Each structure stands twice: as C-alpha cells, then as structure tokens.
Amino acid sequence: MDINKRYESGINVMEELFSKEVRTGMKGINDISPDLWNMIVSFGFGELYSRDIISLKQREYITLTTLITQGAFDQYKVHLQAALNIGVTKEEIIEIIIQCAGYVGFPKAVQAMGIAGEIFKQNE
Amino acid sequence: MDINKRYESGINVMEELFSKEVRTGMKGINDISPDLWNMIVSFGFGELYSRDIISLKQREYITLTTLITQGAFDQYKVHLQAALNIGVTKEEIIEIIIQCAGYVGFPKAVQAMGIAGEIFKQNE
Amino acid sequence: MDINKRYESGINVMEELFSKEVRTGMKGINDISPDLWNMIVSFGFGELYSRDIISLKQREYITLTTLITQGAFDQYKVHLQAALNIGVTKEEIIEIIIQCAGYVGFPKAVQAMGIAGEIFKQNE
Amino acid sequence: MDINKRYESGINVMEELFSKEVRTGMKGINDISPDLWNMIVSFGFGELYSRDIISLKQREYITLTTLITQGAFDQYKVHLQAALNIGVTKEEIIEIIIQCAGYVGFPKAVQAMGIAGEIFKQNE
Amino acid sequence: MDINKRYESGINVMEELFSKEVRTGMKGINDISPDLWNMIVSFGFGELYSRDIISLKQREYITLTTLITQGAFDQYKVHLQAALNIGVTKEEIIEIIIQCAGYVGFPKAVQAMGIAGEIFKQNE
Amino acid sequence: MDINKRYESGINVMEELFSKEVRTGMKGINDISPDLWNMIVSFGFGELYSRDIISLKQREYITLTTLITQGAFDQYKVHLQAALNIGVTKEEIIEIIIQCAGYVGFPKAVQAMGIAGEIFKQNE
C-alpha cells in the first residue's frame, strides 16, 4: 500500500467508526504533533483496522477488551460509541464486559459497565 | 442455574475447549485448593463461557486479547490451543495479535506471535 | 452453598462493608446488567468475602493493596471507606500505603495517600 | 533513624524472612550495584518492613497481594516462602490467592496457586 | 550520606524541578503521613534524583516514560511541567511520547500527547 | 517517506542496534506473519527509531524504561544488549534501573538488575 492510500484508508475507517464531532476532537492531536496524528491515521486505522480476515466489529471486540484490561477508560468510552456505531449491540458489549470480569477482576468490569450504562443512555 | 448444573456446564465447556491432557494438568489446582478449582469450573467456565449472545469463538477472541494485554503468556498458550480446537483459524489469531500491536505495543505483540508460531507448528 | 444463600450472604457482607448510600449507587449496575450485579453479589461478596480463615479486615488489606497496585482509584476510594467502616484504623491504612510504596513505586502510593487524606477528613 | 541503624535493621528483618541460601542469592545484586543493594536493605527492609502498627505477617499479606497483581511471580515465589517462614499458614495463603481471584482475574490467581502448590510441597 | 543531608538534597532537587505552588500542593502529603513525605523527599528525590552519571534531564526522560507506561497521568502532568522547567524541550517531550507509542500502544500515547498539549499551552 | 525507504531505514537501525544473530532470531516472526514483521521493521524501527531530535541512545533509555515498567523482561534483555552496542554504558544502565526503582517498585528493579548482571558478564 502506498503512503497516500494508507492515510486515505485510515480516514475512511475513522469516518465509519466515529462521529464528525469525535473526529474533530481527535484531530486536536494534529495541532500538537502532526507526526503522531499521521501515525494514528495511517498506521493505527489505515494499516490495522483496514485489514481483512476479521471484521471491523471483531476488531472492536479486541479494542474494547484491551482497553478494559489496561484500565484506559477514556479511550474505551470513545470506542464503546464506535462499536455501537458499526452495529455491535448493547447486549454484545455487556457480554464482552462480563467475559472480561473473570479475566481482569471485578473492579475494572464494574467501571466498564458503569461507563457502558452512560453511553447506552446517550444512545436511547 | 443451580449449583450442580453450573459445575456440569463448566465441565462441558472445558471438554470442548481443552484436550484431556490439558484438563488433567489444570486439575492439579484441585489438589491445592478444591475451592479455587470449583470457582474456576463453576464460575469461570460454567457461568461465563456458557452464556449466550456471543459464541465460544468470540469469547476466545476476548480471552486471547486480555491475556496478551496482561502479558499472561502461560495462560495465553493454553487458550491459543483452545481457540484452535474450537475452530478459530490460524489467520484469525494472527489478526488478533496484529490488532493488539497498536493497542499494547510491539513487545507483547512480538512475544504473542512467537508463541503462536510454536503452537501452530505443534498443530501441523 | 445453594444459590439463594450465596446471594443472601453477599448482601449481608455488603451491608457490613458499605453505607446504604453506597449500596444504592452500586446497584446502578443492576439496571444495566442484572447478571453482572448477581455475580458481584453472589460470587464477589457471597463466595469470596464470606469465606473463613482470614477476617473481613484482612480481606480489605488485600483489596486495598490490589486496587492501589492496579491504579483502580475509584474502587479504592469505596473500599477505603469500607475498611474504615469495619474497623481498619487510619494508621493501618497509612501503613498499607507505605508498604505498597516499595512495591509499586511512589506515584501510585502518593495518589493513594492523597485520596486517603480526603476520606479521613470526611470521617472526622 | 541513622544510616547504620537502617541498614542493620534491614539485615535483621531479612534474616527473619529469608533462609541463608536465599539471602546469599539476593546479595548477588550487591556485585552488580552496591547502591541498589543498599537501598533494598536500608529502605526496603530497614525502613518499610521494620515499621510498627502492622505486623510482619500483615506486611507479607500486602507483599504477596501486590506481587500477584503485578504478575511478578519470581519475587512472589521468594515471598511465599518468607511468609511461611514467619508463620503465615498454608490456609491463609490460599485465602489471599482466592480473594485476589475476584480482583485480578483467574489467570493470575491460577498461576499464583500453582506456584503455591510447589512451595507447599517443598515445605512438607 | 547522612540523614539530614539526604533530606536537604531532596528539597534542593524539588526546588529545581517544581514551582513553589506545586511543592506546596505536594506537601499536603505531610499532613496525612509525615513518614511517607519524608521518604519521598529523602529517598525519592534525595537519593534517586540526586545521583550522578545521568543528568536530571535524563532522569525526567525515564520518569515521563514510566508514568506514561503505567497510565499514571496525574503524576505525569506534574513531571511534564518539571521536565520543561529544567530545560527538556517541547520537541523532546513529543519524541518521548512518539517513541512510547510503539511500546505501550496508541491509547496511552494519545492521552499523553493530549495532556502535553494542555501543558504546552499553559507555558506559552 | 515512501514505503521502501521506511523499510530500508528500519533495517539500517536494526543493524546498528542488534547483532546478526539477534536479527536472524527476530526474523522468525517473518515466517509466522510477514505483515507483523513488516510493521516492526517499517513502523517500529523505520518510523520511530529513525526520527531526529533525540538520539538512538536516548531512545534506548525510553525503551529500557518502558520494558522494565511493563515487566517485559525478554524484550528488555534484547534491548539491554542493543543499548550496550550503541554505546550506552554499564553505569548508565544501572542508573536507569535505580531511577525506575522509585517509580515501579523494587521487585521489577531487582529483576531488571539481575538480568543486567548477566548481560554485563557476557560482554566482559
């Protein structure tokens, strides 16, 4: 894949995942470090999320799980909405969190479920 | 679900996931602490893995991801084989690891891929 | 232990540990996922905290330590108050944090101590 | 406390916790970095473990918990033996691990229990 | 080094790193636990930061890296300003974060860069 | 930077950092997943390590610190040798570990120092 295509395909995935408002917020990174922004778009979304074999939904399963495990709840919030945007259901998200409970312990599972509750409400 | 059913359904899931040899090894925990063994079977496998909405394959996506993120590579090894046993393909596992690379960094992704290589070889 | 007894004994432990207000807050989880709520009460509190051999106080030593180590400071705050409620002294909590300093480093110890200071003030 | 007393009191605590063989192994650090060795003895054991209010046994509860949570199983092994040396019972150690299961997830609890089984056998 | 010198040299390093306002805030720890305060000043800053061979700037490289890796963003914020105070440039900080991206993943790198952006603005 | 240049510059950095033997070992990843291999070379080394503003030595300070913090000791071992190869001194490495001790706790610092001792011996 050439350089421009990577960036473009990253932007395409981001449009699928995030609302315009969220993407504008994310782009704040570009003002501080255009290079990191470029890496996020071209490598993060353009190379990783744009790959085949597993679907965008399955990638969000992985992303939500790793963010819960890391306790990275700010990014988790953003990807929770992204997951809903591309069709992961509320019920699936609850299952991801419950499955995580046994693997990362209750504290992170409870925090993840509380945040999910907020996001679900905003989507009603 | 009543107590005996939980245990039974845990044993059923474990038979689906793990070879007899692995299950015998796991049961070593029973000699040290029958209570922890009971929790693993009844709660871990009987309550968590036996739930609906998402499939056993999807649960292994979550399990592999959280184990890579935690750096819990001994358990990861066991679940890598389990994932293959229930039909997660080699190609899907590679995608899980690559998706993780962007979220947990290269060191854990490289270690996860190296272990996957070994397990793939044993399955040839 | 049968299913109802597990739930009941979980509720009993929670009443010992947490104020009515905190328990009401916690029960918000029940609105999002009754299953996770059930696991927290029946497994978390009913099976784990209700066990013998070590006391509820000793269990809170363990809980506070693991939460500091994980950097799970929201849950830590709740268990700090719980520890005080069941008779863990202010001085013991300070010792737990100081012992942790050598094992998890100063940043988490300092954050844990700052939060402890707030909770101590609320209890004066 | 003056400098020499800190070092001395660190050595005293270490003699209580660890066998001669283990202490000799630990002192290998002294050959690589006498300064780190000094910090471990004087600060780690001399300042932290020598404090009052909570007992040496309670400190080992904290140490074992934080090491399980971190997945630092090499150091955990050493402190498991130390805990047994100062009178923490096999049954208490099993309880620490079971309490941790709910807070850090099953993978680390299972690994901690497996190692405990080995150490228990060596102590028979 | 004798006890008083350690404390003094810790205070000196802290004056170099942190503004008067920040140091006053930090000293809140002293009201909760004078012992932890003493350890932070004498051991943390007096023994660790006051050592030779590597410079204060290089020590802040290490500190920022470990705090990003741990996700300890409150302490990271304080040390970001400290790094700027002793002459680490904005460009160097951006490089530290970008280097971390490959080792800890994008979520923590993005959060670190966002906070850096805020601190840079306050320093304009 | 175009695609081929990224790969080439990654290979160049890797030749500077790692012995032929180590590079051959690393390339095992290529047999399992040529895509991950490509990302490591082109993104990890070609994009991150090849940047200016901070030196390769400074990048290894960051790498060693994040690996110690994560407890990723297999990769740490490889980068310890890399650091020595490009001129980071034994004394500097000891300082990195000692600075980390205050931020990640003694268990990881001790393990890092023990491994450093082994690598130093192999380099004598």
Interface pTM (ipTM) of the complex?
0.96
CB of C98 within 8 A of CB of E35? Answer: yes
Contacts of A105 (CB under 8 A, 6+ apart): C66, C70, D101, D102, D103, D104, D105
Put simply, the answer to whether D104 touches A105 (Cβ < 8 Å) is yes
How far E121 CA lies from chain D's nearest CA (Å)? 36
Contacts of B57 (CB under 8 A, 6+ apart): B83, B86, B87, B88
Put simply, the answer to whether B103 touches A62 (Cβ < 8 Å) is yes
**pLDDT for E1 beyond 60:** no
Count of CB pairs separated by less than 8 Å, C with D: 85
Token pair of D13 as six digits: 């605590």
How far F66 CA lies from chain B's nearest CA (Å)? 10
From E18, E42, F105, E7, select the one nearest C109 (Cα to Cα): F105
CB of D86 within 8 A of CB of D17? Answer: yes
Put simply, the answer to whether A108 touches C70 (Cβ < 8 Å) is yes
How far B52 CA lies from chain F's nearest CA (Å)? 33
Which of E26, E27, E36 is the best mutation test for C, with the most CBs of C within 10 A? E36
Show which of residues 42-101 on chain C sit within 8 Å of chain E, judged by CB atoms.
Answer: 71, 94, 97-98, 101
Residue whose tokens read 């390590």: F49
Nearest CB to D113 within list B29, B67, B71: B29
Whether residue C25 lies within 8 A of chain A, CB to CB, comes out as no
Token pair of C80 as six digits: 């700090």
Beta strands in chain E (DSSP E): none
User: How many other CB atoms are there within 10 angstroms of residue D104's CB atom?
Assistant: 27
Put simply, the answer to whether B109 touches F36 (Cβ < 8 Å) is yes
Put simply, the answer to whether C33 touches A113 (Cβ < 8 Å) is yes
Percentage with pLDDT > 90 across chain B:
95
Q: What is the DSSP letter of A49?
A: I
Q: Answer whether 0.90 is exceeded by the pTM.
A: yes
CB of C37 within 8 A of CB of C7? Answer: no
Which of E98, E99, E100, E106 is the best mutation test for B, with the most CBs of B within 10 A? E106
Distance CA(E54)–CA(E51), nearest Å, equals 8
Put simply, the answer to whether D104 touches A104 (Cβ < 8 Å) is yes
Contacts of B35 in chain C (CB under 8 A): 51
CB of E117 within 8 A of CB of E97? Answer: no
Contacts of B121 in chain F (CB under 8 A): none
Residue C113, Cα to own-chain centre: how many angstroms?
Answer: 16
Confidence at D19, pLDDT banded by 50, 70, 90: very high
**pLDDT for D57 beyond 80:** yes
Put simply, the answer to whether A113 touches C36 (Cβ < 8 Å) is yes
Give chain E's domains with CATH numbers.
Answer: 1-53 (no CATH), 54-124 (1.20.1290.10)
Distance CA(B23)–CA(F79), nearest Å, equals 37
Which of C98, C103, C111 is the best mutation test for F, with the most CBs of F within 10 A? C103
Per-residue pLDDT of chain A (124 residues; tens, 9 = 90+): 577 899 999 999 999 999 999 999 999 999 999 999 999 999 999 999 999 999 999 999 999 999 999 999 999 999 999 999 999 999 999 999 999 999 999 999 999 999 999 999 999 8
| Chain F residue with the nearest C-alpha to that of C98 | F105
Put simply, the answer to whether A71 touches C70 (Cβ < 8 Å) is yes
Quick: pLDDT tens for B95-116: 999 999 999 999 999 999 999 9
From D107, A58, F73, A67, select the one nearest B78 (Cα to Cα): D107
Average pLDDT over residues B23-33: 95
User: Is residue C18 classed as helix, strand or coil in its secondary structure?
Assistant: coil
